[in-house]
A = this chain, B = another copy of it.
Amino acid sequence: MTNLPVTQTFADFIAAATWDGLPESVQQAARRTFGNCVALAVGASQSDPVRRVGRSLAGLGQPEHASILGHETRTGVEAAALVNGFAAHLEDFDDTHLRTVVHPGAPIVPAALALAEYKGLDGRAMLTAIAVGIEVALRFGNGICPEHFDRGWHLTGTAGHVGAAAAAGRVVGLKPEQLVVAIGLGATTASGLTAALGTMTKPYHPGKAAADGVQAALLAADGFTGPPQPIEGRRGLAQLSSSRHDFDTMLDGLGDVWEIEANAFKPYACGIVSHAVIDAAIALREQVADGVELTHVEIEVNPVVLDVMGVKNPVDGLGTKFSVYHCFAIGFLEGLGGPEQFGDSRARRADVVSLRDRVRVTTDARIPKGAAHVVAHLAGGQSSVEIEVPNATGSAERPMSDEQLREKARLVASPVLGQDLDHFLDIAFTIDEHDPAALLALATSAAR
């Protein structure tokens, strides 16, 4: 609890923001987050889990109000937000704010997109809402991390709920006092267990956050009432869900320092904390002659890596995304870490399984989260090779360039979009100059 009016300050900030008032670096961060998110949702749209979720919700009967990316059939606004949020996070290939391990795109972009489509907003107004919703989610996360995460909460679900409600509230034009109610509804529905990692329930978290955010905004628009301090109050979300609740950190420099600028993009389709291990494996591959076997591999990382990525013997694609052992194996064997390297077939391939079994991981809290130290022992002449990766590709220190990010988006969306791909990417990464309807027309044409 605090005397700082955290929720009210967030609400005023959300209501007052304008696109032209955002620094160019923030505008570009928002464009990148949007483009990456919708490309991933399109890319995963034909997968079995996304089809299942869409089918289950369709079974409840849906009006044709909003688009599911990659599908021609329209659905309800909440359902569209849910399916798109689920799809965007399914491959664990989305954006990450490393300090909080929030993936802000998947819960927040689909909420704003579905409502913007339904309400006929232009791209600029929608992207403004996304920028401020993400900012609120990440700042909330900054104030409760890492204790909130350590307790077992999946921040993309919890902080995602707060941010999705904030963004959706801005899309429907809520006044500050209504935004307090919407944020309160986001906080009171905030949820998500990290026990769900490696199952379909994990990407359900941002999907649910997006859908609940839509509902929060619509209720708040019609005179709903809620607690005045849902985040910072005595029984607000911060106190309930974390032993640390630093409200100064949540508000420090709001509007001047933008957390969305620290939103990083993944070059590899798995948990971000092992990206340095893949970088190391790829570097190692370049140093070891073809045909030379690795007898065993020692990897040293921060303890969070084994916490999140500790699956020793994954049996399916989803499981491999949480296996640092698998990350090393595919990086070394293939030099890549895309969705294919984390698919079901790779999980059981003999050479992958065999190499995973030769990897030993130890942890040291002094090693930064984004770093890795790898020593590979070789069969034959050369005794061992040592690789040090201080910062992973895609980290805040080594961010993907705009070109790299577009290339990644192209890679994930191309199996679905075909000839519309370039036009789709042009609009996705400059959505502030377009109507969301133009993007959605392309993104739903695949099924036609």
- Chain A contact residues, CB within 8 Å of chain B: 49, 52-53, 55-57, 59-63, 65, 76-78, 151-153, 157, 181, 184-185, 187-196, 199-201, 204-205, 208, 212, 214-215, 218-219, 221-227, 229-230, 233-237, 239-240, 318
Contact = CB atoms under 8 A, between A and B. Distances in A.
With most chain B CB atoms within 10 A of its CB, the pick from A77, A201, A226 is A201
B63 A62 contact: yes
Nearest to A154: B188
A82 to B, nearest CB: 9
A26 to B, nearest CB: 30
Contacts of A239: 152
Given A56-B221, A189-B191, A208-B212, 17 more contacts: A49-B224, A52-B224, A56-B222, A60-B63, A60-B78, A61-B76, A153-B240, A191-B191, A193-B230, A194-B235, A195-B230, A195-B233, A195-B235, A196-B226, A196-B230, A200-B226, A201-B224
A162 to B, nearest CB: 12
Given A52-B224, A60-B63, A63-B61, A196 B188 contact: yes
Given A63-B61, A240-B153, A227 B188 contact: no
A208 B227 CA distance: 17
Nearest to A51: B222
B189 A52 contact: no
B152 A240 contact: yes
Given A76-B60, A76-B61, A208-B189, A199 B226 contact: yes
Assembly stoichiometry (copies): 2
B184 A188 contact: no
B188 A204 contact: yes
A52 to B, nearest CB: 5
24 contacts: A52-B222, A55-B222, A56-B215, A56-B218, A56-B221, A60-B65, A60-B76, A152-B236, A152-B239, A153-B240, A181-B201, A187-B193, A188-B191, A188-B195, A188-B204, A188-B205, A193-B237, A195-B230, A195-B234, A195-B236, A196-B227, A199-B226, A200-B225, A200-B226
